[in-house]
Amino acid sequence: MRTLLMWLLVPLVLATVVGAALLYPFGHDQRTGAEVGLNQKPVNAVVTGVQDDVCGEKCTAVTVRMTEGDANGQSIAIPSVKGPGSPRYQVGDEVVLSYSGSQPQAAESYQIVDFQRGWSLLLLGLVFAAAVLLLGRWQGLAALGALLLSFVVLVLFVLPSILAGQNPLLVAVVGAGLIMFVVLYLTHGVSARTSTAVLGTLVSLALIGVLGALFSAAAKLTGLDEDTINLVTVLGTDIDTRGLLLAGTLIGALGVLDDVTVTQTSAVWELRRANEKLTWRELFAAGSRIGRDHMSSVVNTLVMAYAGAALPLLLAISLAGRSMGEILTAQQIAQEIVRTLVGSIGLVAAIPVTTALAAIIAVRQEVAHAGPEPEELEPEPKTVKRAKPEPPRPTRFEGDLYTGYDPGKGPWERPGATRPAARRAAPANPARPARRRSSDSP
């Protein structure tokens, strides 16, 4: 089985590496900033004063001191809109200004666009890392390393390749493959169990890609929303917006797929370890029962994640006074529906596929029994020094030590005698028996 898994996975790993090498934009110089028309430059500053009713009823004058840029250390007053939903500033707030780059001394060249939140995010990241390390220990450290490598793949491969004009769907497939191999093998180790989870994830990703392409074309989804339109406008080049939609679907479903496949594989292996006599059909049935409970929670998680991301859009469309059917079939809502349902179908399919693969492979693997737990050594009882007992004093015997009775108590009788018999008193000094002489003696 290990040889079969190797023959199945090694070509996929090689195809992923070759695809990454072919799709990566070597030598491509991507234009950024002012080169693509984005002349705004961020500048950090600190709020030193806030005055109301200086520039009008719906305006607030915010005085800031810049901590970097061409006018570092200088203070300027910037008007800010005051009203429902607008941010409120206080003295000491660290903010980010947008500088147009024309006149660094003029207040008209700046605009408050955001707050600085680097320290709060860094603190949250440290708390998250500490929680993972505290619970997972070495495996938690491996999970943090895999998470970091996932971001590296996204930032250094997926984004540059799409911006360079590569097919977003192909880039997403290769990027998802890289993330999957790195995350699963680094976190769970190189084993038959991990390889089974990888195979289940690959099958589910392929199903999501095929269904996404079919239903995106059937629903005539273009993938054009506000953010995508701004991206196309800034790039000034043609980009496959529908492929970009499918790429987001694959990458969004990858994290949940890893959870499902690893959980199902581990469940089947533990069932096999608990009872070696289970056949692959019995393992598949037991693992499927576990997977059905997992499926309901995972599908709900994916739906709620997409609904939460599109919540402002749902609120905006609901204010238009349109019917529920018109809202659900609108371009921006329909693409979220397709993305959610296609991802959910892939998650549902991952459970039986992964469980079947795990059951077939697990019954052919030797069961690795866990070693006996070390017994706790009982503490040795403490020895208490006790005083030595005094030897008993010798008992004083009276009477004739040879015969063992007291003559003053009368004649001696044999213990247990049934008939009384008068005994003659023994002479005080009995005569010794005469010595028998032999005939040869003189």
Would you write out the chain's pLDDT as a tens digit for each of its 442 residues? Answer: 777 888 888 888 899 999 999 999 887 777 776 666 667 788 899 999 888 766 767 788 888 998 888 888 888 888 888 777 778 888 888 999 888 777 888 888 888 888 998 889 999 999 999 999 998 888 888 889 888 999 999 999 998 888 888 888 889 999 999 998 988 888 888 888 888 989 999 999 889 989 988 988 888 888 777 777 777 777 777 778 888 888 888 888 887 888 889 889 998 999 888 888 888 888 899 888 888 877 877 777 767 777 777 777 777 777 777 777 777 787 778 888 888 888 888 888 899 999 998 888 888 877 665 444 444 444 555 555 555 666 666 555 455 444 555 566 666 566 555 554 444 444 555 555 555 554 444 4
108 touches 98 (CB < 8 A): no
pLDDT at position 432 is 55
Cβ distance 19 to 81 under 8 Å?
A: no
Closest CA to 64 of 54, 50, 85: 50
* Burial of 262 (C-beta count, 10 Å sphere; 0-12/13-18/19+): buried
Q: Which amino acid is at 370?
A: A
* pLDDT given for residue 9 in this prediction: 87
Query: What gap in Å lies between CA 30 and CA 2, rounded to an integer?
Result: 44
Using alpha carbons only, how large is the chain's radius of gyration in Å? 45
User: pTM for this one?
Assistant: 0.70
Q: Which pLDDT belongs to residue 224?
A: 77
Residue 129: predicted pLDDT: 92
- Predicted pLDDT of residue 368: 60
Contacts 24+ apart (CB under 8 A), 72-78: 74/105, 75/48, 76/105, 76/106, 76/107, 76/110, 77/49, 77/51, 77/107, 78/107, 78/110, 78/111, 78/112
